[in-house]
Amino acid sequence: MRARLGRSRPGSEAATGLTDTARRIIRLNYGFQLLFNLLWWMPVFYAYQKAAGLSDAQIFGIQSIYYVAFCLLEIPTGLIADRIGTRNCLRAGAVVMTAANLAPVVSASYTGFLLHFLAIAAGRSLTSGAASAYLYDGLRAQRCDEHYLRAEGTARALGLAAKVVCWPLVGPLMTLAHPAPYVLSAASAAGSLVCAVLLPRLAGTEAAADPGRSSGGRRGSAFLRDAGTALRCVASSPWLALVMVQGVAVFTLSRICQVNLFQPILLDHGIGESSHGGVLAAMTVAEAVASARPQWLSRRLPPVAWVSVLSLALAGTLAAMTLGGPWVVVVLLCLFAAATGFAFPVQRKLVNDAVPAHAPRATLLSVESIVDRAVCALAAIAAGAYLSAGHLDALLWHSALATALLLGVFQLLLRSGAVARDGWDGEAAPPRPRPDAGAEADDTSPAAAGEGAPDRAEAADAGFTEVLEPDRARRAPRTP
């Protein structure tokens, strides 16, 4: 039977068919994502480290070490999430992030900032795959998985909106207490720990129910088994591997521009530090609105094509920044942020939909994160070298050309038929009755992989239609 389109009406929880547990999962996920990612120091960390005596080479060197550390930690933390449960992994990540944000308060030196970013790499790697996997599995267990894309996008939008409110306050707060950005970041991370503690347990997904996993030997063999399963999934699923690679452009461009090059670009165009908070707030508004409204993307292009188009838009705005004046650069940065906001939820859903049934989801999402961070590590080293040589414009142009080349190869593979969308062995789960409101159902029943299930790519498009064009989805005739 063909997967049916949902009938949910945007903005009305009563009409969505969400269970009480699904609502709780979504709302606590909103709180966790908002507080965990609320880094008050983000608009000033470059100037903060410069004031502490660090050079450009040291600052960008720390960033490169951060990305490398993230890569090294992603696989073990993804394996931990799949063994001890994603909820427990979120709690551990929040604890580590709280401690990480206090490191510069204790020591505002090269060593202190290096330890700060290494601890952030550990905290974020614990949650990068686990947060998305928990939300996806939690909603699927409640038969509400059609709400995943909207929940993912809204969580990102709310987090960005919080930054718009908080970041302009950083400057005045620093005049009262210089380490305030880092102290407030630690307090926010502690708040995310409260949300993680309150998250409901997902039946059949946590290791606590299996006392045998307390054995070191069994745990080690289980980690190796999950790692092998994840690598086999990527090797045997060309579509999954290709989707992961496509996301590299979005992640690398957004991370390098919005974190590492944001202040250098503004300073290069004569925009003083006093205006950086306002520009970053405007960018964040643009990204938040786009993240919350993926339905604005036309259905004329499939999701995978939209990610490519948005990646090219990011590359084009970077190149155009070399040609305009200060106001043009501010507008282009806002357009860059909006394209990023549209792309991230769509890319995240594409990867989740491409993961085969019963595969170690958190570990596979960690594999994707490793690829992204590995490229970012190289990009950070290159950015530091370009900036030290005074070649910012060349860096922006070369970044745009590298993105166009990557996406050109991706489209050639896609159009040549070398990688088919159904080129993997997993099947999507057929529609099943939802549990009663408030029930915490186990999603590990044999029916999850029953025969006669719809093609996964088709099911993913159906779910995407519900979010992009809800009115059209409601009018669409049901196919028996």
Q: How many CB atoms lie within 10 A of CB 144?
A: 24
Per-residue pLDDT at 224: 62
Type of residue at 54: L
- Average pLDDT for the chain: 74
pLDDT at residue 211 above 70? no
Give the closest residue to 43 by CA, choosing from 128, 142, 168.
168
pLDDT bin (cut points 50, 70, 90) of residue 290 is confident
pLDDT at residue 257 above 60? yes
pLDDT at residue 166 above 90? no
Distances (CA, A) of 156 to 45, 161, 235, 468: 22, 9, 30, 17
User: Phi and psi dihedrals of 41, rounded to 5?
Assistant: -80, -5
The string of pLDDT tens digits covering residues 170-185 is 878 888 888 899 999 9
Dihedral sign from CA coordinates of 272, 278, 279, 284:
positive
Domains recognised in the chain with CATH numbers: 18-205+217-419+454-475 (1.20.1250.20)
The string of pLDDT tens digits covering residues 375-422 is 877 887 888 788 878 888 888 898 889 888 888 887 787 777 655 554
Range among 8-12, 77-81, 181-185, 316-320 with highest mean pLDDT value:
181-185
The string of pLDDT tens digits covering residues 224-243 is 666 677 677 777 777 877 88
CB 291 within 8 A of CB 344: yes
Share of the chain above pLDDT 90, in %: 12
Per-residue pLDDT at 14: 40
The whole-angstrom separation of Cα 158 and Cα 156 is: 6
The string of pLDDT tens digits covering residues 62-113 is 888 888 887 777 666 666 766 777 888 899 999 999 999 999 999 888 999 9
Mean pLDDT, residues 197-212 taken together: 61
